[in-house]
Amino acid sequence: MCNCLWGVKVYMSLKMTKNKEKVLEFLNNREYSFIEPIFSEAGGEFIEYTIDRVGTIFNENAKYVKPRKMLENFLVYIFLYITHILTMAGPVRQIQTLLKDEVCLRLLGFSEDEIKNGVTKRKGDNQYGADYERQSGAMGTTALVDNLAFFDKDSLIKCFNLYIGKLKAEGIDFGSEYALDSTIIETDKDYPGAKVIRKTNEDGEDTNEYVYGFKLWILSSVKTRIPVALHVGTANEADAPLLKQIVETGVSNIGASTIKTLLIDRGFINGEVLHQIKYEMGIDWCCPAKKNMDIYKDVTTLREMNKDKIETWEYGSHGLSGGFLVKGAVSYDQYSKENIGFKKNKTGSPINAVCITMWAGKEIAVGREKVIMTSADVNSAKEIQQIYKKRSLIENCTFRELKQGATVNQLPVTKKHEKAENLAYIHVILSVFAFSIFNAIVEEVNSEPNNTKKLPQCIREFRFTQKSQKANLFVLVDVYYAVITMKEFMDTIGFKRVSSPFDSDFGFY
């Protein structure tokens, strides 16, 4: 964790330095500038980390379409929003709680006058009258959301890419396995910019259910759950055309040699691109086959021939599953170096596959088998299954945590209707940013040698543990600040503890 907040390039005109020893020295002399109870350091730590690690990236690359003069630097909107996502569950309207948090606002560089009277130059002279008492702190929720809508989404994605590259350069071990998937951010049909799509079932087949909204694509590290590439668009955009673009972005962010295995689902199948990923980029892939593919039909027809070669394995709490291995299948003719048009008798490059014929201790009916393909060199059916099952982590952990923890699916509403679509994109990007920042902090703290205090890997659990802690004090003296316990405060200013009858172990009376 960093030790100071630099404000010259970001927002603050002064530098606030975390220095507990200096603060206690001032308190011992009965000197202080500001003292406020704080129930956890989480908000301050997140602000500190974001400004220190990402502030310069935002400052140099984030673009703002229509800047307002309300704040000296518009980046404070981003810092406020990310801090809100990390420290508070719930929709954006609840951000007014953060806007009243004087500790967080001071860390962001707001002056005492701005916190009390707001940052608008109109001060008390507004549409509510000169005697109107502000209820929202430095600014209103609407002002924050409306201004976020003027950020350029592509520039924020660029900032995200630079941040992931910085994490890699600083030594974060992302691992070698990566899962690529997409999720729908549902809205009502009248939300500006939202598009409609028909839902599919687990076999990738269309259903009769339609949803409106936007779509988020993430290439995520299986080891750290940190997304290394993202893309946002509308719900009706297909997955397959984005496969190469997203993988190339991930490679650009963390290096070609880092990504060894790519886990995808049926929606991303593109034989020509998969061939390039394997033979040009050196990345093995693993993916289930569609039922209308020749390789699916060819592999499943071998079921009777391989009934004595069934391998079995435990699949979590589901029980015993099993299948057989097919090595070197070449019937996926689109998986080839030259994939131009239809060529009779053309064969694809060799693929290994597992045909799953048993699930949860029961035989799978003929025609309902699952076939999982991979370019990796494997020697058993179980090995393929063990590789592919990790793809479920992006849905069960990453997307679930993004929706329930980082509230990526709770799109804010702006009165500026023409900017509502862009605001949806900004919200999604900043939610992924916040999620990545949280997981990066967890990865850094938990990987420290001799660290016995491990942070939870779930944002929701982290919030709960922070809120359950006893209140501490945030103390600011001159440009130095610290978070100290109540006992440290009492001891420093010279209070002496006297004995009490309740100290004796007399039990209840």
- Helices 420-446 & 153-169 angle (0-180, nearest 10): 10
User: Which range, 200-214, 221-235, 493-507, has the best average confidence (pLDDT)?
Assistant: 221-235
pLDDT at residue 122 above 80? no
Give the span between the Cα atoms of 428 and 423, in whole angstroms.
9
CA dihedral sign of residues 265, 257, 58, 224: positive
Give the span between the Cα atoms of 389 and 19, in whole angstroms.
47
Q: What is the pLDDT of residue 394?
A: 84
Global pTM reads 0.87
> By the 8 A CB rule, do 371 and 299 touch?
yes
Q: For 231, how many CA atoms within 13 A lie in the half-sphere containing its CB? A: 22
Give the span between the Cα atoms of 478 and 366, in whole angstroms.
76
CA 480 to each of CA 94, 95, 107, 190, 409: distance values in angstroms, whole numbers, following the listed order: 30, 27, 11, 50, 39
Give the span between the Cα atoms of 389 and 265, in whole angstroms.
11
Q: What are phi and psi of 23, to 5 degrees?
A: -65, -45
| Confidence label for 74 from pLDDT (cuts 50, 70 and 90) | confident
Q: What are phi and psi of 443, to 5 degrees?
A: -65, -40
Q: For 494, how many CA atoms within 13 A lie in the half-sphere containing its CB? A: 6
pLDDT at residue 232 above 80? yes
pLDDT at residue 296 above 80? yes
Tokens representing residue 59 in the block:
């400052």
pLDDT at residue 343 above 80? no
Give the span between the Cα atoms of 100 and 452, in whole angstroms.
34
Q: What is the pLDDT of residue 412?
A: 86
Q: Which residue matches tokens 């941040």?
A: 163
Q: What percent of the chain has pLDDT over 70?
A: 85
| Confidence label for 202 from pLDDT (cuts 50, 70 and 90) | low
Q: What is the pLDDT of residue 468?
A: 67
Tokens representing residue 488 in the block:
């440290």
Q: What residue type is assigned to position 430 of the chain?
A: L
Length of the chain as a residue count: 509
> By the 8 A CB rule, do 182 and 217 touch?
yes
Among residues 467, 468, 429, the alpha carbon closest in space to that of 217 is found at 429
Q: What is the pLDDT of residue 295?
A: 94
Give the span between the Cα atoms of 109 and 138, in whole angstroms.
11
> By the 8 A CB rule, do 161 and 252 touch?
yes
DSSP one-letter code for 256: T
Contacting residues for 97 by C-beta, under 8 A, at least 6 apart = 88
pLDDT at residue 146 above 60? yes
Domain positions in the chain are 4-153+405-467, 174-403
Average pLDDT rounded to a whole number, residues 82-86: 87
Tokens representing residue 382 in the block:
């179980």
Among residues 17, 13, 21, 19, the alpha carbon closest in space to that of 4 is found at 17
Looking at every residue in the chain, the average pLDDT score rounds to 84
Among residues 375, 369, 283, the alpha carbon closest in space to that of 332 is found at 375
Q: What is the pLDDT of residue 132?
A: 53
The per-residue pLDDT for range 104-114, each reduced to its tens digit, is 888 887 878 88
Secondary structure (DSSP) of 318-375: G-EEEEEEEEEE---TTSSS---S--TT--PPPEEEEEEEEETTEEPPTT--EEEEES
Q: What is the pLDDT of residue 506?
A: 52
Indicate the SS3 state at residue 252: helix
Secondary structure (DSSP) of 433-485: HHHHHHHHHHHHHHTSTT---PPPSSHHHHHHHHHTSPPEEEEEETTEEEEE-
Domain 174-403 = CATH 3.90.1280: no
Q: What residue type is assigned to position 11 of the chain?
A: Y
Q: Which residue matches tokens 């391989």?
A: 306
| Confidence label for 144 from pLDDT (cuts 50, 70 and 90) | confident
Burial degree of 121 (CB within 10 A; 0-12, 13-18, 19+)? exposed
Give the span between the Cα atoms of 246 and 244, in whole angstroms.
6
pLDDT at residue 116 above 90? no
